Amino acid sequence: MKSTFQKYGYREIQTPMFENLELFTAKSGETIIDELYSFKDKGNREIALRPELTAPVIRFYVDKLQMEPKPLKLFYFGNCFRYDRPQKGRYREFRQAGCEIIGTSTPEAYAELIALAYTILTNVGLKDIQLSIGNLNILSSIFKTLKISKDKQKQLIPLIDKSQFEEISNLMQEFGIKNEEVENFLDILQTSNIEKISNYIINDDLTKKELSYLKEILNLLEKSFEIKDYKIKIGIVRGLDYYKGVVFEIDAPVLGAEKQLCGGGAYELISLFGGKETSTAGFAIGFDRTILALQTERYQFPLEKIDVFIIPVNIETIDKSIEVTQILRNNGITADIDLLRRGMSKALKYASSINAEKIVIIGPKELEKDSVTIRDMKTGEQTLVKINEILKVVK
Amino acid sequence: MKSTFQKYGYREIQTPMFENLELFTAKSGETIIDELYSFKDKGNREIALRPELTAPVIRFYVDKLQMEPKPLKLFYFGNCFRYDRPQKGRYREFRQAGCEIIGTSTPEAYAELIALAYTILTNVGLKDIQLSIGNLNILSSIFKTLKISKDKQKQLIPLIDKSQFEEISNLMQEFGIKNEEVENFLDILQTSNIEKISNYIINDDLTKKELSYLKEILNLLEKSFEIKDYKIKIGIVRGLDYYKGVVFEIDAPVLGAEKQLCGGGAYELISLFGGKETSTAGFAIGFDRTILALQTERYQFPLEKIDVFIIPVNIETIDKSIEVTQILRNNGITADIDLLRRGMSKALKYASSINAEKIVIIGPKELEKDSVTIRDMKTGEQTLVKINEILKVVK
């Protein structure tokens, strides 16, 4: 993940594990306190373990980085905390990888951001992911056209978020919206056809402009970034109400109900923290859930291996064995030596338990010839090798 | 640091950012609470942000790893927290790298542990470090011979820790210890001559055995690990009273008063946490203080660089420019593209601010010839390169 962020020109940022509580309530409202590990420190300050990293990064930007050349591309990898009922893929302490791009709102910037999130998840080895792209300004203007008030939106949004179409339909009819309009809205929530969406909002010039901007992004994403496997989903609402404009999500269908791996989009937060507002966008990837998705897809995680395990045949050869071990280590080879003065068979068993690929056996007979015995653990083949040629053989 | 730990056969372990408060009071006594970020969570559990990582690692060992083949070599890198007055090289949130080796107490195990700590600090680029090695069992038996009670030891130890020899002398005379014995003791605290120490404890067989064991370790350290630059310091007491036997410290004299970078040794903790006692040793390195020492030594930290910065000459070449950027990124090159549709001079200024090494300029004229212009930022040299040859040129 880190290496993909870096290839896209992002630089790592690290922020403290806790912040003033008000940083998170300012961003997400007082209700977030229920989900936080918050406490008073010995100086009676209200602090909270960070539940996410966007607010800390933007806080740091406002404090220290406002004068940096734009765009500023920052990525992070860190632990976050949420006081929540732990369940599969949702832990009280969890890890997030993510990024923020500050100071640009060109279509190519958003297309690159979406491409980056998608590329990170394919680069780590996931085979089946589903990218959905929406736009909150378009959804907002649809709400406006349908005369759905902010209060009513708050009832509707959780249902849209969960794609509960029957419940959406019932609630909208309760709101007094005509059956035909409800049906059309449900159609738009479920279509990935941009022309259909375009026809639906045909009478709203501002929204048409927003849509043509979205088209530009999608065009770059397909043609230049070569990411063609996505859906348009106008019903992406995201939990947070600070998002504006383009939003996107990436799911791993293999995970079932808790399938969302990544969420992101354009948002406004800088002025809330006292900085000069400039375009910002970003995304966060649930690291633990990504691992879970890889496991479910039966991804072969690399085994931790030891290149060489050295066994001194008796106490007299320990010093020489250490010297050989150090030659290997100093030349970039992962080497370990028996530190328990065990007999050969026990030492070999240990070597196998730590996945040693080669064994170097060092006894008095070998040392008489300035040599050691090298055994390949896969083939079982043993060869006598001069100590000054050991590097050549092992490499 | 990570790569050195791994070359020595250590495997990374990650533990939670907070633990039950009692884990740390069990290890260090109730007084540690004053130095902790501790609080009650919403379930009324007393928890504490971890002040160090040995207790969490051993807690995890007792819970989950007791059946693993021995020795178990574990390293960590993590944030820790201390409610303390922040000062240079001492932060409230700080980072520690360290390791524990569980299940062996052979001289080669201790020699390797000390060699590893020393090698990590030289490998990161430090030029001037000072290794001191002591043994708490020898110090304890000296206290016993001098009939200094545990209570009196508690008064004496902080003075020994700070090498305040005049104060040590005064206090010992207060204790009623003869002048000559005080002088001899001060001599032993200040000598690095193992024969002198040996003569001093001549009448104590158990301590002589401990000393000969220390000699074995030092012998391996010098001859097999080739680390000759150390001092013996019987006065190493360490802040923690759970250490037993071999102890060591590594200082960076360049840092003045707060010069200690690393501390470690053999300790007993497993049975305290309910596990089956087995030999354990380890060390911790202050990461932030190591950075500070490197800075003070004027170490040249590597600049963060961008291999290639791509500038589309106008809006029409953006799509093709992205394609070129993606070719580079997909082939392991760190590449960024202007995302603000700037003019050439502003884009070049930005490229220079992010330390781009090469610039790729993509305009309609170049594209007519399926080519791009590559500029080397150091030499200023510009060449026209076919797009299908760009990888060869850039690499």
Among chain B residues, CA nearest to A35? B42
pLDDT of residue B213: 93
In a shared domain, residues A266 and A352? no
Is A329 in contact with B353 (Cβ distance < 8 A)?
no
Burial (CB count <10 Å: 0-12, 13-18, 19+), residue A22: exposed
Domain boundary among A296, A322, A354: A296
Burial track A143-169 (b if 16+ CB lie within 10 A, e otherwise): beebebeeebbeebbebbeeeeeeebb
Q: Which residues of B touch A70 (CB under 8 A)?
A: 340, 350
Is B17 in contact with A42 (Cβ distance < 8 A)?
no
Q: Does A104 touch chain B (CB under 8 A)?
A: yes
Q: In what order do the strands lie in the sheet with A72-81?
A: A11-12, A72-81, A93-102, A280-286, A260-267, A243-251, A130-135, A230-232
Q: Which residues of A touch B16 (CB under 8 A)?
A: 93
Q: Does B350 touch chain A (CB under 8 A)?
A: yes
Q: Does A305 touch chain B (CB under 8 A)?
A: no
Q: Which residues of A touch B319 (CB under 8 A)?
A: 220, 223-224
Does any domain span residue A375?
yes
B21-66 pLDDT, tens digit per residue, is: 999 998 888 888 999 999 999 999 999 999 999 999 999 999 999 9
pLDDT of residue B141: 87
Among chain A residues, CA nearest to B323? A224
**Bond preceding residue A71 cis, omega within 30 of 0:** yes
Mean pLDDT for all residues in chain A: 94
Element (H, E) at B74: strand B72-81
Among chain A residues, CA nearest to B222? A319
Does any domain span residue A168?
no
Burial (CB count <10 Å: 0-12, 13-18, 19+), residue A291: middle
The helix/strand/coil state of A74 is strand
In a shared domain, residues A271 and A341? no
Quick check: A375 and A326 in contact, CB under 8 A?
no
Domain count, chain A: 2
Q: Cα separation of B191 and B188, whole Å?
A: 5
A69-108 pLDDT, tens digit per residue, is: 999 999 999 999 999 888 888 899 999 999 999 999 999 9
CA distances from B355 to A260, B168, B326, B359 (A): 36, 56, 19, 11
Q: Does A378 touch chain B (CB under 8 A)?
A: no
CATH number at residue A379: 3.40.50.800
Sign of CA pseudo-dihedral B146, B152, B157, B163? negative
Neighbouring residues of A224: CB distance < 8 A, sequence distance ≥ 6: A111, B318, B319, B320, B322, B323, B326
Q: Which residues of A touch B314 (CB under 8 A)?
A: none
Helices (H), A307-343: 318-330
Is A106 in contact with B341 (Cβ distance < 8 A)?
yes
Instruction: Name the minimum distance, in Å, from the CA of A347 to any CA of chain B.
Output: 10
Which residue from B40, B109, B353 is facing A339, i.e. has the nearest CB?
A: B109
Does any domain span residue B240?
no
Q: What percent of chain A has pLDDT over 90?
A: 84
CA distances from B151 to A17, A326, A389, B147, B158 (A): 39, 44, 59, 11, 12
In a shared domain, residues B38 and B66? yes
Does any domain span residue A282?
yes
pLDDT of residue A160: 92
Does any domain span residue A183?
no
CATH number at residue B86: 3.30.930.10
Reported as a pLDDT band with limits 50, 70 and 90, residue A352 is very high
Its domain, for residue A339, covers 306-394
Instruction: Name the minimum distance, in Å, from the CA of A107 to any CA of chain B.
Output: 9
In a shared domain, residues B288 and B367? no
Q: What percent of chain A has pLDDT over 70?
A: 99
Is A104 in contact with B340 (Cβ distance < 8 A)?
yes
Reported as a pLDDT band with limits 50, 70 and 90, residue A188 is very high
Which tokens is B287 given? 């990461």
In a shared domain, residues B266 and B385? no
Helix B165-174 to helix B179-190 angle (10° resolution) is 150
Which residue from B104, B335, B353 is facing A339, i.e. has the nearest CB?
A: B104
pLDDT of residue A395: 84
Which residue from B101, B322, B340 is facing A70, i.e. has the nearest CB?
A: B340
In a shared domain, residues A277 and A345? no
The helix/strand/coil state of B138 is helix
In a shared domain, residues A212 and A324? no
Among chain A residues, CA nearest to B113? A339
pTM of the model: 0.94
Is A340 in contact with B73 (Cβ distance < 8 A)?
no
The helix/strand/coil state of B144 is helix
Domain boundary among B265, B296, B327: B296
Quick check: B358 and B374 in contact, CB under 8 A?
yes
Burial (CB count <10 Å: 0-12, 13-18, 19+), residue B140: middle
Neighbouring residues of A355: CB distance < 8 A, sequence distance ≥ 6: A303, A304, A305, A306
Is B108 in contact with A339 (Cβ distance < 8 A)?
yes
Quick check: B102 and B74 in contact, CB under 8 A?
yes
A26-42 pLDDT, tens digit per residue, is: 888 888 899 999 999 99
Q: Cα separation of A33 and A28, whole Å?
A: 9
pLDDT of residue B203: 74
Element (H, E) at A56: helix A54-60
The helix/strand/coil state of B173 is helix
In a shared domain, residues A137 and A58? yes
The tokens 């395990």 sit on which residue? A309
ipTM: 0.93
Closest by Cα among B235, B137, B236 to B186: B235
Among chain B residues, CA nearest to A103? B340
Which residue from A79, A220, A226 is facing B17, i.e. has the nearest CB?
A: A79
Neighbouring residues of A264: CB distance < 8 A, sequence distance ≥ 6: A98, A113, A114, A117, A247, A248, A249, A281, A282, A283, A284
Among chain B residues, CA nearest to A339? B109
In a shared domain, residues A118 and A245? yes
Q: Cα separation of B48 and B169, whole Å?
A: 40
Does any domain span residue B320?
yes
Does any domain span residue B226?
no
Quick check: B21 and B46 in contact, CB under 8 A?
yes
Domain boundary among A261, A296, A331: A296
Q: Cα separation of B334 and A217, whole Å?
A: 23
Sign of CA pseudo-dihedral A349, A354, A356, A360? negative
In a shared domain, residues A349 and A327? yes
For chain A, positions 212-241, list CB contacts with chain B under 8 A: 220, 223-226
pLDDT lower than 50: segments of chain B: 240
Does any domain span residue A175?
no
Burial (CB count <10 Å: 0-12, 13-18, 19+), residue B146: middle
pLDDT of residue A162: 87
pLDDT of residue B87: 83
Quick check: A73 and A101 in contact, CB under 8 A?
yes
Q: Cα separation of B201 and B135, whole Å?
A: 13
pLDDT of residue B239: 55
In a shared domain, residues A216 and A364? no
Q: Cα separation of A285 and B180, whole Å?
A: 69
In a shared domain, residues A248 and A377? no
Q: Does A334 touch chain B (CB under 8 A)?
A: yes
For chain A, positions 8-47, list CB contacts with chain B under 8 A: 8-9, 11, 16-18, 37, 39-42
B385 pairs with which residues across the strands? B372
For residue B90, the 8-state DSSP code is B
CA count, 13 A, side-chain hemisphere, B257: 4
Among chain B residues, CA nearest to A4? B329
